[in-house]
Chain A
């Protein structure tokens, strides 16, 4: 009887299965689990990394920075810089087309750069130097500066935060404070909006009309050759499930497996771990509120250095020393502008001295409000280590536990802690952005216009500007050292180390992974 039931069920099921098989066999599909799900399709509207990974697949950029953060032409075929370094003339390469079939023109480019320049921090800085952008014809345009700025091409090719995505003019005319309604670019993959299930899956189809460059790929520079017919960014929110799915071969690529799972993945058959680009690490840091006592006093801020033993933080977050690095610096260790400036501040771990210095700065045991995220893989343990160190030193800690969404809301409040404000929060920054003083917005000290914590120091801002205007690498390195020394002295933030999150992938199923620098590079991956 049971056999007959099974046979009947099988007979019913077989036709459905048979219909599916041929379609799946023809298409090469890359299934990737990224660090977050695609919810926003406008890489300019938000600085969310995942929106920029989406943007990098769909949109192209004028320049692309390579693994060493050197800019190379991407959409641009040729460019010239006038001898006075005030006029840049860019000519687009042939054959650039949007996914709707329309050609990419300088009107689209100028509108896109204006929108990006109005929204993105690096774009705003660049546009501060730009007096005008004018089309010469459909393929050539000029960008005129009021004074020489040494970061024009690096800004256009950046891969951290919001990329300078080139959109259709009609999309680029959208208010920068509003999200574009359609995601139509000229990049190597076409966004299949009709198949998008926010919180579950985003689908990208190969752009058959895409004409890649001929140079070898290096991070965001060089050839972007779409390697598969279809990319599915599948969102698996449970890391344990994502790991099992990778081991089982249901997904091909896992962008950011938690550090706890690395030993298991190292042993899994068919799975390989790959360290990402040269400086694509994460930097963890503690931000103090410069507007509220006691940290409105520089001496109190400097006292906090004595509570930081980076090894304690890194062991709690990462565990395996293979994946972390002690780095008492603000500019990424291993990056082009790594330097010794201000490192002496973090030489000694001495909680007693920290309390003594705090008292000398006027601290009388008032509660210090720490925003303690309860749901973040790295920020949560780091905050716990900090709170423990503060309590051991005898500091009165008011640890306010909340989800990360509440932390990002509350940290924007400038009120005193008792009225909903804060004194300390912990966060992280990408190593690529942190490697360059212009891209690294957290190192800035632009007072009210700066990031949460609102450090205020004219000298730091002067040095950042000088870095942007420097014309030689030697000059830049010298300024970067001065800048870091000054920023450490003013305690714009306190770094607690640097770590890598290797990506995991099925080496028996996919090939051609380009180590990324800033954003995951998926376009070159091929299926075996």
Chain B
């Protein structure tokens, strides 16, 4: 297992190199110029050129690439063209809200999805199954921002139970931290809940038709033991895969939720940096996302071995 993990970690290096190369040149070929944005509305062409020269953006692209790669090798992601702050500081400032939102969303999604997925599989083709799956389809089909605005309208504006927006770090108090995450986790969690519930149901249906389940039932085992101990554990591999994909998506792809609830996470940082053409920040973020996805995939693969003894590396 250790050799496998080491091999997989080494395999990430060429992946990251390709990502770095791709993102650097893609950004440079995309339209837009940070110098023009920095110089502002009333800047002349000459002023824009002067800013561009000072930022080093007028140098040949290959030269810029090597400067960046050399910095990267030294562990330096560079500084933001706009704020002059190190990219690592900008990313680390945004890490906590994103991780908190990811974990709380997963908690909401998994806590709802697995029970209803199991229930739907158990009561397959009965009204419970149809209601549960209808709810899941609705949850998956409804855009996150629509649900988010509906939740804000009722829970924050009308009933004033929860804040409309903002994120409170855990260091500033546990309850404000939880309060700031309830609505965004619900809005985002319902979508993921739908995905996980459908996968749980499909996977459970497959397992429930197996001979050993029939044997367990005929031995007179209680239904909950059959479902939870015998069936769910063996149905877990696809469920874990979907949860893992969810984690990877949540880390980089919750920009709409972060925008609507004004959570200063990595998703918003990415969109803001792309719109402003803040090249060093976008490059740093894409590398972090790529690294996170590789790591999540590795963890999922390792978890297979624990869930299914037949899988060995």
Give chain A's interface residues, CB within 8 Å of chain B: 12-14, 16-17, 19-20, 37, 39-41, 45-48, 51, 119, 121, 161, 175, 177-179, 181, 196-201, 234, 236-238, 240-242, 244-245, 247-248, 250, 375, 402-403, 405-406, 408-410, 412, 414, 427, 429, 433, 441-442, 448-452
Contacts and interface: CB of A to CB of B under 8 A. Distances in A.
Given A12-B174, A405-B37, A250 B164 contact: yes
B80 interface: yes
5 tightest A-B CB contacts, nearest first: A47-B40, A200-B264, A16-B174, A409-B33, A39-B82
28 contacts: A13-B174, A16-B175, A17-B176, A39-B83, A40-B83, A48-B40, A161-B42, A177-B53, A181-B84, A196-B83, A196-B85, A197-B94, A197-B264, A198-B80, A199-B268, A199-B272, A240-B149, A241-B261, A241-B262, A242-B165, A244-B152, A244-B164, A244-B165, A245-B262, A250-B164, A427-B41, A429-B41, A442-B42
A248 B260 contact: no
Contact of B264 (A181, A201, A238, A449): A201
Contacts of B38: 40, 45-46, 48
Contact of B276 (A41, A236, A405, A442): A405
Contact of B173 (A19, A47, A242, A405): A19
B39 A47 contact: yes
Contacts of B32: 403, 405-406, 409
B277 interface: yes
Given A40-B38, A245-B165, 14 more contacts: A16-B175, A39-B276, A47-B43, A121-B44, A198-B80, A198-B85, A199-B264, A199-B269, A236-B262, A237-B272, A240-B149, A244-B157, A244-B164, A427-B41
A208 B163 CA distance: 32
Contacts of B84: 41, 179, 181
Interface residues of B, number: 55
B178 interface: yes
B259 interface: yes
A365 to B, nearest CB: 27
Interface string B30-50: 011100111111111111101
Contacts of A427: 41
B172 A40 contact: no
A199 to B, nearest CB: 5
A39 B85 CA distance: 10
B54 A177 contact: yes
B163 A248 contact: yes
A236 B165 contact: yes
A2 B262 CA distance: 32
B34 to A, nearest CB: 8
Nearest to A178: B54
A51 B37 CA distance: 12
Contact of A405 (B259, B262, B275): B275
A314 B271 CA distance: 30
A181 B275 CA distance: 23
A241 B164 contact: yes
Contacts of B33: 405, 408-409, 412
A449 B42 CA distance: 12
B156 interface: yes
Given A199-B269, A248-B156, A412-B36, A241 B165 contact: yes
B90 A198 contact: yes
- Interface SS majority for chain B: helix
Contacts of B54: 175, 177-178
B94 to A, nearest CB: 8
A155 to B, nearest CB: 14
B51 interface: yes
Contact of B178 (A13, A240, A429, A448): A13
B174 A238 contact: no
A17 B83 contact: no
Contacts of B39: 46-47
Contacts of A450: 44
Contact of B41 (A47, A196, A244): A47
Given A177-B54, A200-B264, A46 B44 contact: no
A237 B152 CA distance: 16
A197 B93 contact: yes
Given A177-B53, A248-B160, A409-B33, A40 B82 contact: yes
A244 B151 CA distance: 12
Nearest to A17: B175
A406 B277 CA distance: 10
B166 interface: yes
A236 B44 CA distance: 30
Contacts of B277: 405
Interface in B31-89: 31-33, 36-48, 50-51, 53-54, 80, 82-85
B93 to A, nearest CB: 5
Nearest to A180: B84
Given A181-B84, A197-B93, A409-B31, A13 B152 contact: no
Contacts of B47: 119
A427 B53 CA distance: 26
Nearest to A410: B31
Nearest to B31: A406
Nearest to A48: B40
Contacts of A181: 84
Nearest to A429: B41
Nearest to B40: A47
Given A16-B173, A409-B33, A121 B42 contact: yes
Contacts of A13: 174-175, 178
B207 to A, nearest CB: 30
Contacts of B276: 39, 405
A408 B36 CA distance: 6
Contacts of B82: 39-40, 198
A238 B260 contact: yes
Contacts of A248: 156-157, 160, 163-164
- Interface hub of B46, B85, B94, B166 (most chain A Cβ within 10 A): B166
Contacts of B45: 412, 414, 448, 452
A448 B43 CA distance: 13
Contacts of A177: 50-51, 53-54
A58 to B, nearest CB: 15
Contacts of A198: 80, 82-83, 85, 90
A441 B44 CA distance: 10
A199 B278 CA distance: 12
B151 to A, nearest CB: 11
Contacts of A403: 32, 275
Given A45-B38, A47-B41, A198-B80, A245 B53 contact: no
B42 A441 contact: yes
Interface in B17-36: 31-33, 36
B166 A409 contact: no
